């Protein structure tokens, strides 16, 4: 299962747990169509948008990553590594958002270690 699919599934679970519609969850961050495609794994979400949605629903980034990785430190480190690879390869126009998400998840020392 790809990272996009897992993120979408977790967002859907959070939305369901909160009793929200896709429109409410997407809020002003994106269209309902975009959000629906993210939940289904058909579209990736950029870090800034993910952070904005989580913040609007009062879900901490750390809790989100912990839930995504089932509180497994190695899997959380792997997730952080994927984000770091995106930064290093320049695959993301969203470097600031990725760095912020890594710090909020408690892995800022990794960024400092790699001087990113």
d(CA 76, CA 81): 9
Report the pLDDT value the prediction gives residue 113, as an integer from 0 to 100: 64
DSSP annotation of 42: S
CB 34 within 8 A of CB 25: no
Kindly report the CATH class assigned to 3-113.
mainly alpha
**24-53 as b/e, with b when 16 or more CB fall inside 10 Å?**
ebbeebbeeebbbbbbebeeebebebbbbb
* Domains of the chain by residue range: 3-113
Report the pLDDT value the prediction gives residue 17, as an integer from 0 to 100: 86
Tell me how crowded residue 109 is: count the other CB atoms within 10 A of its CB: 10
H helix runs in the chain, sequence order: 3-18, 22-26, 32-39, 47-56, 61-68, 73-89, 95-104, 108-113
The alpha carbon of 104 is separated from its chain's Cα centroid by a whole number of angstroms, namely: 11
DSSP annotation of 1: -
| pLDDT tens sequence for the chain (116 residues) | 556 678 888 899 889 888 999 999 999 999 999 999 999 989 988 888 988 999 898 887 777 877 776 645 566 666 666 666 666 655 556 666 677 777 666 666 666 665 55
**Tokens of residue 52, six digits:** 């904005």
């Amino acid at each position: 299962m790809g990272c996009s699919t897992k993120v979408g599934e977790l967002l859907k679970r959070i939305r369901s747990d909160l009793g929200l519609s896709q429109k409410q969850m997407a809020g002003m961050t994106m269209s309902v169509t975009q959000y629906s495609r993210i939940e289904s794994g058909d579209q990736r979400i950029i870090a800034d948008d993910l952070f904005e949605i989580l913040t609007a629903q009062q879900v901490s980034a750390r809790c989100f990553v912990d839930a995504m990785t089932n509180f497994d430190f190695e899997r959380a480190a792997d997730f952080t590594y994927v984000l770091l690879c995106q930064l290093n390869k320049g695959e993301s126009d969203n470097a600031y958002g990725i760095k912020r998400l890594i710090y909020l998840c408690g892995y800022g020392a990794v960024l400092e270690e790699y001087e990113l």
